[in-house]
Every structure is written in structure tokens, then in C-alpha cells.
Structure 1
Amino acid sequence: MSEEASYKDKKVITIGVVSELTGLTERQIRYYEERKLIFPERADKGNRKYSFNDIERLIEIANKREEGVRTYDIRQEMIKKNKELDQKVRKNMLKGQINSRFGIQKDR
């Protein structure tokens, strides 16, 4: 059985609505996409579609930009967080495999 994405992950919101919700211009939103800070999906006709998580990320980006943080630095921070998350996931997976192999039950 496959897991369904959370409503916050579903890419269903148009760039116009995102612009209204965030206060950013459509040009700014596209720029952040060019800088690889957000990753909208494309609909059949090429229209960008965003999720609620994308909106939250755009607000965080806008706040950091107001503080003077460069987009390059924001991107580097994102990369670092993703690497840390990947390492944590791998560590938990390995721990689960070891526990499974040796019949260790997790305390409840």
C-alpha cells in the first residue's frame, strides 16, 4: 500500500495565489526557483504548481532576504540540512536493520 502525500505536500497552488499569500512578486518567486531554493511542479500546460510547504519555504526565504542573507547562503543552508536529514534517516534505517537482524525489540 502506497502512502499518500500530506495535503501540505500536494502541488496544487498557482503562482498567482502564491504571490498573494506570500506578498512576493511572481518574478521573485521565479527567481527563487532559478536559484534552486524551491521546486514547483509543472502542470500539463507548463503552469507552475506549488504546495503549502513551498509557500512556507518562500516566506522563510523572504524573511532571510530581508535580514540580508544571500540566496547562495540560503541554498547552502538547505543543502546542509538535507545532508543532515539524510544521515539521520540512514542511521535510523541501519539501526532498524541491525535490530531486526538480531531480534532486538524497540522499547515501547
Structure 2
Amino acid sequence: MNYKKKKLITIGVVCEMTGLSERQIRYYEERELIFPDRSKGGTRKYSFFDIERLMDIAEKMEDGMQTFEIKRLDKKKNTSLRDQMIKGQINARFGQQNEAKGPNR
């Protein structure tokens, strides 16, 4: 597993690393922009990817974006990426079949 994906970092450390308050981070979680894991005791745990994501969110908020706009932008990006992957799979599948048939289909 990639070390950047491991959710080991507590919210206090995240605050120190990002300059964000616990309140801001919890707000982003409430708005479903960030998804920390929880320990058995309920402590939020974040990854380095989460920290990068929080910095990206904070930057967009400073630029005047609202949380719903950030969420919509993320959804659009994910849809676009998924569509690109599907197109690639289709092209790979049918491209191989067309190559096998040769130029005089």
C-alpha cells in the first residue's frame, strides 16, 4: 500500500501541517469534501492525500469558490476521468479486433 494513502495522521497534526482549524476541517467533512477514517475511539485519521486535498479545498475557498462548487467540480472531474477510461477500454478492445482483421475489413 502506498504510504500516502495510509490514514494515520490525527486532526491536530493536520491542523499544524495545513494551517487550517479543526472547525474548518470538520466543516469540509460535513460537506463531504473529505473522508477521514475513524479509530475505534472515534478519532479522525487522515492520509497525506487527505492533507493535499484539504490544501486544495482551502485554496479554492480563498479564491471565492463555495463548497458546493468544489464538490460539483470534483464530480465533473471524476465523471470525465471515468469516461476517458471507458473510451480507452473500448478503443483497446475494438482496436485489437480491427488490427486482427487487417486493413481490408
Question: Under a length normalisation based on structure 1, what TM-score does the superposition of the two structures give?
Answer: 0.82
Provide the rounded CA distance (Å) in 1 between the counterparts of 2:3 and 2:37.
15
How many aligned residue pairs are there? 100
Q: What is the aligned partner in structure 2 of residue 56 from structure 1? A: 52
Provide the rounded CA distance (Å) in 2 between the counterparts of 1:49 and 1:99.
44
Q: What is the aligned partner in structure 1 of residue 28 from structure 2? A: 32
1:8 CA displacement: 1.3
1:99 CA displacement: 4.8
Provide the rounded CA distance (Å) in 2 between the counterparts of 1:103 and 1:52.
44
1:69 and 2:65 are equivalent in the alignment = yes
Provide the rounded CA distance (Å) in 2 between the counterparts of 1:86 and 1:36.
20
Q: List alignment gaps of at least 5 residues for structure 1.
A: none
Provide the rounded CA distance (Å) in 2 between the counterparts of 1:90 and 1:48.
35
Residue type of the alignment partner of 1:46: G
Q: What is the aligned partner in structure 2 of residue 81 from structure 1? A: 77
Provide the rounded CA distance (Å) in 1 between the counterparts of 2:81 and 2:42.
31
Q: List alignment gaps of at least 5 residues for structure 2.
A: 101-105
1:28 CA displacement: 0.5
- Give 1 or 2: higher helix fraction: 2
Identity of aligned residues (%): 52
How big is the alpha-carbon RMSD for the aligned residues of Structure 1 and Structure 2?
Answer: 1.8
1:95 and 2:91 are equivalent in the alignment = yes
Residue type of the alignment partner of 1:43: S
Residue type of the alignment partner of 1:66: E
1:47 CA displacement: 1.2
Residue type of the alignment partner of 1:26: E
